[in-house]
Structure 1
Amino acid sequence: MEPLYVEKAGKKLRCGYTTGSCAAAASKAALKMLLTCDDIHTVSIKTPKGPVYTAEIMDIKREKDSVSCAVIKDGGDDPDVTTGAYIYAKVTIKDEEGIAIDGGHGVGRVTKPGLDQKIGEAAINSVPRKMIKENILEVLNEFDAVNRGVQVIISVPRGEEIAEKTFNPKLGIVGGISILGTTGIVEPMSDDAIVQTIRTEIRMRKAEGRSTLLAAPGNYGLSFLSEKYQMDESIPVMSSNFIYDTVRIALEEGFEKLLFVGHIGKLVKVAGGIKNTHSMYGDHRMEILSDLSRNYLNLDSELSECVMTDEAVRIISQAEISDKVFPRMANEIKRNMEAWADGKMDIEIIVFSNENAELVSTKDAHDFLTDTLSIK
């Protein structure tokens, strides 16, 4: 099977396959071996995106009425912590009709509302469940055994250990990894995977009954909220660089109030209308601060020499215009975010600088902060 490749930033990168694809392939192989009593060493499935995945089958084990086998997760050139994990499927024929899917050792359990599966269910998401069922049905049809019942148990040795390096503990998935994937394909450096994680976290906050969503771009924001306000780090949603996407998802998920808390190095870009704050989409921090300052004093030459925004904060403060420039910046951030939300959300802003010092906030930001601590 020829590897799949994608072009990212001018580089040719190899795609991988999701844990969902691995689970479906292992399930198909195990059932086929159970019905034929013959070992097989490769199996092919069609991924939801279209390409066929041919997986190598490992560690075949037989019992009286079941077969288990594994597929090794290959994330391609994506820095995926699950790469190398063995994704096992144990398939058993049942007396009653139907296909039952559950998680075994190393597959997490859902403990919070708002996730793809209900509380108490194995963290095997909807698309992987559909893939497993479709491939089980394909084998049952092939052997004219559609009236047979099948139980599938997915397990991942070391899954609990691997999960500690993922978002699962924060999301309330305990005991192991999630079996994931909407396309069946892992695209290296996939923006979509990050955005889907953001959406999942926002849905969880909604399911918790929160009326105000709190978001922060990253760990600096979490540290600031924890240190200054003793905020539980499980409350804020981490937006990473996807500021615009976070605003749009919050709107789509029904939030009417949003509080965004972040370091000036990220949020000043939003004052200039930049939707994704990753440096690959441009920097412009000093240009934006120069434009804001120019209304009161021309600091173009001084600010153009700055590498870090905290140095720019020092220059603006020494020029005694910080009480004008930073409120103007915060209001521009607020104005742009509310425009991205089509004017349907009230958005407030808190911006901090190094040493976790609050630099500026918009008018109702601290009221919103209080709201985020309550569940209504």
Structure 2
Amino acid sequence: MTQSKPPLRRGWTTGSCATAAAKAAWLVLQGHEPPASVWITLPSGREVAFSLCQFTGTPDAPCAAVIKDAGDDPDITHGAIIRCTVRALPSGAGIVFKAGPGVGTITRPGLPLPPGEPAINPTPRSMICTALAQANNNILPDAEVTISVDNGEELAQRTLNGRLGIVGGLSILGTTGIVMPFSCSAWIESIHRGVDVARAEGLPHILGATGNVSEKAGQALYALPDIALIEMGDFAGGLLKYIRHHPVPRLSIAGGIAKMTKLGQGCLDLHSSRSRADMAALAQLAAQHGAPDGLPAQIKVCPTVAEAFLLSSTHNFPLGNLIAQKAWDVAHHTLAPAPVRLDVLVFDRMGTLVGKATEAALL
């Protein structure tokens, strides 16, 4: 008898950790002993407790720290130390947010905050304001809040921050305060912000790619700047549906043979665990377009799309273009009615263009 796996453990966003650290630091600033833990309020209204791992700073500017626990989510910030330093400001100043070491600064328009602001998103800012008011007899104090992340600048190199114009470190994120394991919400959010930045910059052409090889090959083909590149990954639907409501003049979709086959078969989530290529349908597509005798039957029993493509290549049959066209049809339908010029590029593992579609065709 097989045992069921335990449920995946949820974690906390950087915004929640910063909120707890800010509340603890404010309490110390008011003369309280450094607390072992504090309670904060999530956007849902739920109350949760956080343990503090360290207190530093000075009596006029105490600093509290929380170790981020991302639960069972493969988050690069899991285990990072989130610090918050709080100091009092003159009456009427309100809450002023600052980026400390390891927290980025926004340099481009299109994000939820204007250029020059620390990359502390609106929801974490609101959570921090609520926490400080709770610790101040329900009155919002006048205070400077500086958030930092140990090794944040190095961690940020593994994110899309540089491409989005966030320099110097990580963003303090979170819309619910909770990290849902493998929810993919952070990736999709980064896709949306990438489109927002491209639109704000007035870019005429952006490229969404499933991976590094197709991204580099597509960028070279069109000589696109880095800011025009959207790391779509497996979330074709996340990109296409957002552009449907936030159009750009031109969009290129680039990907490998297998993922573009799945897109052409109507899959908008291209992850291997959530969608599979239908080899029988691929064989039928080849047969409908004049594939040599015997090739469709061989394609049907191929274990992978890559193998089917190699077989087609030995017969000089343009399977890549058929895959690109079917993917174009699905992407165009998903974008409609947005007036977006669309093309689809299919690359092999070496970055060679093996299929392209730029408009509707009779298939």
Provide the TM-score with structure 1 as the length reference. Answer: 0.86
CA distance in 2, matches of 1:346, 1:88: 46
Quick one: structure 1 residues 29 and 163, their matched pair in 2 at CA, closer, same or farther if it must change by over 3 Å? same
CA distance in 2, matches of 1:40, 1:108: 28
Instruction: For residue 153 of structure 2, give the secondary structure of its aligned residue in structure 1.
Output: helix
Q: Does 1:141 align with 2:134?
A: no
CA distance in 2, matches of 1:187, 1:195: 13
Q: Displacement of 1:272 after TM fit?
A: 1.1
CA distance in 1, matches of 2:135, 2:322: 64
Which residue pairs with 1:372 in the alignment? none
CA distance in 2, matches of 1:243, 1:165: 21
CA distance in 2, matches of 1:64, 1:343: 59
CA distance in 2, matches of 1:202, 1:130: 25
Q: Does 1:203 align with 2:203?
A: no
AA matched with 1:17: W
Whether the 8 Å contact between 1:265 and 1:285 is mirrored in structure 2 is no
Which residue pairs with 1:258 in the alignment? 251
Q: Does 1:173 align with 2:169?
A: no
Instruction: For residue 281 of structure 1, give the secondary structure of its aligned residue in structure 2.
Output: coil
Provide the TM-score with structure 2 as the length reference. Answer: 0.89
For structure 2, which runs of at least 5 residues remain unmatched after alignment?
none
Which residue pairs with 1:329 in the alignment? 323
Whether the 8 Å contact between 1:268 and 1:288 is mirrored in structure 2 is no
Quick one: structure 1 residues 108 and 239, their matched pair in 2 at CA, closer, same or farther if it must change by over 3 Å? same
Q: Displacement of 1:228 after TM fit?
A: 4.9
- Shifted more, 230-239 versus 47-56: the winner is 230-239
Candidates 32, 35, 41, aligned match of 1:37: 32
Q: Displacement of 1:248 after TM fit?
A: 0.8
Which residue pairs with 2:240 in the alignment? 247
Q: Does 1:306 align with 2:306?
A: no
After superposition, residues 1-376 of structure 1 pair within 5 angstroms as 12-61=7-56, 63-97=58-92, 98-142=94-138, 146=139, 148-226=141-219, 228=221, 231-295=224-288, 296-297=290-291, 299-322=295-318, 325-344=319-338, 345-363=340-358
AA matched with 2:314: Q
Q: Displacement of 1:32 after TM fit?
A: 1.6
Q: Displacement of 1:101 after TM fit?
A: 1.6
Quick one: structure 1 residues 224 and 41, their matched pair in 2 at CA, closer, same or farther if it must change by over 3 Å? same
CA distance in 2, matches of 1:363, 1:283: 25
AA matched with 2:126: K
Q: Displacement of 1:11 after TM fit?
A: 5.1
AA matched with 2:337: G
Q: How many residues align?
A: 352
CA distance in 1, matches of 2:29, 2:312: 72
Instruction: For residue 279 of structure 1, give the secondary structure of its aligned residue in structure 2.
Output: coil
Q: Displacement of 1:230 after TM fit?
A: 5.2
AA matched with 1:349: V
Q: CA RMSD in A?
A: 2.3
Q: Displacement of 1:65 after TM fit?
A: 2.2
CA distance in 1, matches of 2:107, 2:65: 27
Q: Displacement of 1:341 after TM fit?
A: 1.7
CA distance in 2, matches of 1:309, 1:228: 24
CA distance in 2, matches of 1:265, 1:41: 51
CA distance in 1, matches of 2:135, 2:20: 11
Q: Displacement of 1:285 after TM fit?
A: 4.5
Whether the 8 Å contact between 1:213 and 1:250 is mirrored in structure 2 is no
- Shifted more, 16-25 versus 246-255: the winner is 246-255
Q: Displacement of 1:29 after TM fit?
A: 1.3
Instruction: For residue 137 of structure 2, give the secondary structure of its aligned residue in structure 1.
Output: helix
Runs (4 or more) in structure 1 with deviation over 6 Å come to none
Instruction: For residue 356 of structure 1, give the secondary structure of its aligned residue in structure 2.
Output: coil
